[in-house]
Amino acid sequence: MTEWKQALHDHWKFKAAGQERWLEAKVPGCVHADLFRNGEIPDPFYGTNERELQWIDKTDWEYTASFDVQPELFRAQQIEIVFSGLDTYADVYLNGAKIIAADNMFRTWRADVKALLRPADNTLYVHFRSPIQEDLPKLEKLGYALPATNDQSDVGGLGENKVSVFARKAPYHYGWDWGPRLVTSGIWRNVTLIGWNEVRMTDLFIEQQDIRSDLARLSAHVEVETSAAWEGELLIATEGGAWRQTVAFAQPGIHQVAVPLTIEQPRLWWSAGLGTPHRYTFEAVLMNGEGQARASRSATTGLRSVKLVTKPDEHGATFYIELNGVPLFCKGANHIPNDSFVTEVSDERYRHEVASAAESNMNMLRVWGGGIYEQDVFYDLCDEYGILVWQDFMFACSMYPGDEHFLENVRIEAEENIKRLRNHPCIALWCGNNEIDTAWSHYDENAGWGGWKAEYTPELREKIWADYEAIFHRILPDAVSKLAPGAAYWPSSPMQQLSGDKDQHAHNRSARGDIHYWGVWHNTEPFDNYNVCVGRFMSEYGFQSFPEERTVRTFAEAQDMELFSDVMLAHQKNMAGNRLIKEYMDIYMPQPKDFPSFLYMSQVLQAEAMKTAIEAHRRKRPFCMGSLYWQMNDCWPVASWSSMDYYGRWKATQYYARRSFRDVLLSVDGTDRDRVDVYLVSDRLEPVQGTLLVELIDFSGRRLKEWSARVTAGANRAHRVFSLRKEEALSGANPAQALLYARFVRDGSTAMAAAAEHYFVPAKALKLPRPNITMSASGGSAAEFTLTTDTLAKQVWFNTETAGIFSDNFFDLIPGKPVTVTFYARNKDGQAFAPGDPGEVSVRSMADFIIHS
Ligand code: BMA
């Protein structure tokens, strides 16, 4: 081979510009993490420390390292240095000569360094200019402010000056309604020296032209760079196929070669729940005339056809993903970066998140546009677990400038990231931005967010909208169709359609496109409205909760443990958040007896909201074909909409989602005034048949009444399989002390396929007894135990110090219906989750957390 690589990650030092003392740095890394490791700043996530650290983003930072070059690499005829990520305004010098001037966190920066390198004692020096100081003059020059709702400029001491829109840098660094403002700088991805002679392969893209179960038609696009004229042979091989093609390049430079490939009876890539996410690795090798391999590259992908189907129908238009010909109901959540300092996220944390999604019966995550184009490992894991990705470009809740330099910067950013990610079978669609079309609502004077377009003159409005269209209706779709032919592009989430009139913008009752429904929460509507506002694809909806006490105590002391303390408010970035949680809790939940109980109750409250929404969406399939709640994860310990906290601890919602997203779901709908309806929802590709048993039970476990029915659910369908008049369902029992318990048993099996409880009143109105829960070992391993109770134990919560998840948690335990639970330890035996000893487990239920009257 003729290529050598050397990582330049050792012996880095850093300091504030103008200071004397160099400190040890980690590369890849960022300045906040480096300062913290050196003891120069306190933990940014603790207490109210965020506020004290705002000077960091107003400062310039310098990074430097010396290195020797590996002798073989040094002898190479061509040598380049590659920075896979510089955050953000960075000038790079090698041995005193300036080689790179970077201004986009999301781009790769390269320079030819052959002439500058010495065999030993080379010095790299990177100067990061403050992203705040850099961009303030741009705001002044523009002469008007651009809306940027989540930019917490006031926390940064900048008053109303929102500069995030000028930087091609992760928007959430500037603060969000769940994230701190920590505008960092640093060498955030790998630095590599690459030497090569004669020929190398710079890209291998497996374009999937037509994928069917009997035949896959592909085209391998190989990008070759030569330093002179070159001839030889290109070999491509994968499981079940090998291809050869003669190649000849008359000139030095970059060349494109396309090789048509066909694979018979391909093993398809399926999303979780539908089948195996099979992957193929393609190896490409360039051989010279003597039959020697001179350059190679491999690419892993999965063969699948994935389409976004937006067909007009009697309601409006469909909006669903079709995978290998199957209309897919997308089940999942929105993903944000796993840390304010993304360089601190280990591969294990990524695996924990994606495996948690798969364990929760999800098949899609949305990489939301206010974060980063994720690290490669994230997409590798999604490929492996069969989790589809809705991929936003990194633009959110802001209007952006439209000068030529900015647009060109965006174009290159888009092209590079599409090129980096396009082999991943997980990517289902590309989406231009988060919520900008709806926030601006250009064609509807009365719609859009307050403080947005109303602030501008008609001329300025047209100018700002034209700048928007340049990026989202021209540059990004062009980049997708050029580099990922056939991949779907959706300009903005949410949106109805690209009609150029009023009907373009989404609203809560749209019957085409996708919807972000925030009536519950931001608009204080009741949970029941989740049943009313159901669109074709619910790409966002959410409800907040607190993380568990163990997590809160990482940032708060005993005296901070109250809802409106300075510290608790600093860890609540949605201004009204803590008040909203309390107000909703007062409506639906019994009164918690103290603050730790309030934390628990907030999780149950959130979970009930999310269950209401998810099941309402699934019951409406095929009208509705997607349900992605906001949000999967957190970037620091905080009160937020997440279902899993910063430490990866599952909140109640994660367990609820796991149940409500099961491929066969029994869902009881009590929203009708007079009726209780039981639905069977199935995502299976074959029909399911069996018996439905519905029992009316009192809290001591006594069966007061019973109904049964033969039921069937067609493939990939939702059916109302049973209805009862409320009066009959309750049959005179006290609604505060009785519940319906429904169970579906599949033919040919004694195991229950699905179960559901239904209460006639909110938890607040229940008369909850104090249960005695018994826990006994079962299955012969420490990982498994069985629980029984003497009276209803609502929302049983197991908690342990050991990191991991339970097979179920936050569920209602009914007398006479024992439940067996397994503990899965996190990151065990080389797996994300494996059965393990949970250690000491505390078992509590709602009755332990409330004031009994
Ligand atoms: C939507 C998201 C995020 C936000 C969330 C909660 O607007 O796209 O911007 O964090 O709702 O408000």
Distance 574 CA to ligand 1 centre (A): 10
**CA 540 to ligand 1 center in whole angstroms:** 8
Mean pLDDT (whole number) for 143-152: 96
State the distance from the centre of ligand 1 to the C-alpha of 178, rounded, in angstroms: 9
Q: How far is the CA of 303 from the centre of ligand 1 (A)?
A: 33
Structure tokens at 740: 């319906």
3-state secondary structure 668-706: EECCCCCEEEEEEEECCCCCEEEEEEEEEEECCCCEEEE
**Among 755, 763, 838, 822, residue whose Cα is nearest residue 794:** 763
The per-residue pLDDT for 789 is 98
Could you read off the pLDDT of 404-451 as tens digits, one per residue? Answer: 999 999 999 999 999 999 999 999 999 999 999 999 999 999 999 998
Question: How large a percentage of the chain has pLDDT more than 70?
Answer: 100
Is residue 748 very low, low, confident or very high in pLDDT (cuts 50, 70, 90)?
A: confident
CATH superfamily of 198-301: Immunoglobulins (2.60.40.10)
User: For residue 664, what are the β-bridge partners?
Assistant: 682
pLDDT at 333: 99
From 150, 176, 177, mutation site for ligand 1 pocket: most ligand atoms within 8 A of C-beta: 177
pLDDT tens readout for residues 627-662:
999 999 999 999 999 999 999 999 999 999 999 999
Listed in order, the ranges of the chain carrying CATH 2.60.120.260 are 3-190
Residues 6+ positions from 367 with CB-CB distance below 8 Å: 335, 373, 374, 378, 389, 390, 391, 392
What's the gap between Cα 478 and its chain centre? 25
Question: pLDDT category, 351, cuts 50, 70, 90?
Answer: very high
Query: pLDDT band for position 7 (50/70/90)?
Result: very high
Q: Measuring from atom 10 of ligand 1, which residue has the nearest CA?
A: 177
**Helix (H/G/I), strand (E/B), else coil: 134:** helix
Stretch(es) of the chain classified as CATH 2.60.40.10: 198-301, 663-766, 768-853
Could you tell me the distance, in angstroms and rounded to a whole number, from the CA of residue 200 to the centre of ligand 1?
Answer: 44
pLDDT, residue 50, reads 98
What are the residue ranges of CATH 3.20.20.80 in the chain? 328-542+604-660
The H or E element containing residue 654 is: helix 652-660
pLDDT in tens, 613-628: 999 999 999 999 999 9
C-alpha separations of 721 from 324, 591, 682, 724 in Å: 29, 36, 12, 11
% of the chain with per-residue pLDDT over 90: 97
pLDDT score recorded for residue 353: 98
pLDDT at 406: 98
From the CA of 99, how far away is ligand 1's center (Å)? 39
- If you classify domain 768-853 with CATH, what class do you get? mainly beta
Ligand 1, atom 6, lies closest to the CA of 177
Contact in structure between 198 and 595 (CB atoms under 8 Å): no
* Predicted local distance difference test score (pLDDT) of residue 147: 97
The distance between the two most distant Cα atoms of the chain, rounded to a whole number of Å, is: 90
Q: Which residue has a Cα nearest atom 1 of ligand 1?
A: 540
Is the pTM above the cut of 0.95?
A: yes
Nearest to residue 821, comparing CAs of 841, 801, 793, 802?
841
Choose which residue among 398, 523, 630 to substitute to test ligand 1 binding: the one with the highest number of ligand atoms within 8 A of its C-beta: 630
* Best mutation site among 540, 545, 640 for ligand 1 pocket (most ligand atoms within 8 Å of CB): 540
Residue nearest to atom 12 of ligand 1 (CA): 177
Q: Which atom of ligand 1 is nearest to the CA of 370?
A: 9
Q: How far is the C-alpha of 566 from the C-alpha of 564, rounded, in Å? A: 6
Please give the average per-residue pLDDT across 308-313, as a whole number: 98
CA angle 401/459/150 to nearest 5° reads 40
Q: Specify the pLDDT at position 750.
A: 76
* Burial label, 504 (beta-carbon count in 10 A; 0-12, 13-18, 19+): buried
Helices (H), 271-400: 347-359, 376-385
Residue 1: pLDDT over 80: no
The token pair that represents 640 in the structure block = 């937020």
Using N-to-C axis directions, what is the helix angle for 404-421 and 476-483, rounded to 10°?
30
Flag whether pLDDT at 2 surpasses 90.
no
- Is the pLDDT at 807 greater than 90, yes or no? yes
Does the pLDDT at position 321 exceed 80?
yes
160 against 455, higher pLDDT: 160
Q: Round to whole Å and give the CA distance between 450 and 402.
A: 22
Amino acid 88: pLDDT: 98
Q: What atom of ligand 1 comes closest to residue 522's alpha carbon?
A: 12
Residues near ligand 1 with C-beta < 6 Å?
A: 176-178, 370, 396-397, 434-435, 516, 540, 630, 641
CATH topology of domain 3-190: Jelly Rolls (2.60.120)
User: pLDDT confidence of 749, banded at 50, 70, 90?
Assistant: confident
Closest CA to 700 of 733, 729, 746: 733
User: Nearest CA to 430 among 454, 457, 405, 395?
Assistant: 395
Model confidence at 751: pLDDT above 80: no
Instruction: Please say if the pLDDT value at position 132 is more than 90.
Output: yes
pLDDT for 660 equals 98
3-state SS class at 615: helix
Supply the pLDDT for residue 753. 81
What pairing do the DSSP bridges indicate for beta strands 330-335 and 364-367?
Answer: parallel
Which residues on adjacent β-strands are paired with residue 677? 669, 723
| Nearest C-alpha neighbor of 418 from the set 486, 366, 480, 335 | 480
pLDDT surpassing 80 at residue 853: no
Strands (E), 541-635: 626-629
For domain 663-766, the CATH architecture is: Sandwich (2.60)
Q: Which of 23-27, 202-206, 712-716 has the lowest mean pLDDT?
A: 712-716
Q: What pLDDT does 451 receive? A: 83
Nearest CA among 711, 712, 701, 689 for reference residue 741: 701
Mean pLDDT over all residues of the chain?
A: 97
Report residue 53 as tokens: 């650290």
Look at domain 328-542+604-660 and name its CATH class: alpha beta
| Mean pLDDT within 732-736 | 97
Measured in Å, residue 500 CA sits from the centre of ligand 1 at: 25
Residue nearest to atom 4 of ligand 1 (CA): 177
Q: What is the pLDDT of residue 780?
A: 86
User: Residue 455 — pLDDT band, cuts 50, 70, 90?
Assistant: confident
What is the arithmetic mean of pLDDT over 562-585? Answer: 98
pLDDT at 803 (0 to 100): 98
403: which residues sit within 8 A by CB, 6+ positions away?
none
Coil, strand or helix at 710? strand
- Region 37-48 average pLDDT: 98
Instruction: Enumerate helices (H) and strands (E) in the chain, giving the number of each.
Output: 16, 47
Give the distance (Å) from ligand 1 centre to CA of residue 476.
22
Question: Per DSSP, which regions of 599-663 are E strands?
Answer: 626-629
The pLDDT of residue 779 is above 90: no
| Sign of the Cα pseudo-torsion (696, 701, 702, 703, in order) | positive
Which band of pLDDT confidence, cut at 50, 70 and 90, is reported for residue 818?
very high
Atom nearest to 516 CA in ligand 1:
1
Write the residue with the smallest CA distance to atom 3 of ligand 1.
Answer: 177
Weakest-pLDDT range from 100-109, 550-559, 770-779: 770-779
Query: Position 316: which residue type?
Result: G
In the block, which residue shows the tokens 């009143």? Answer: 761
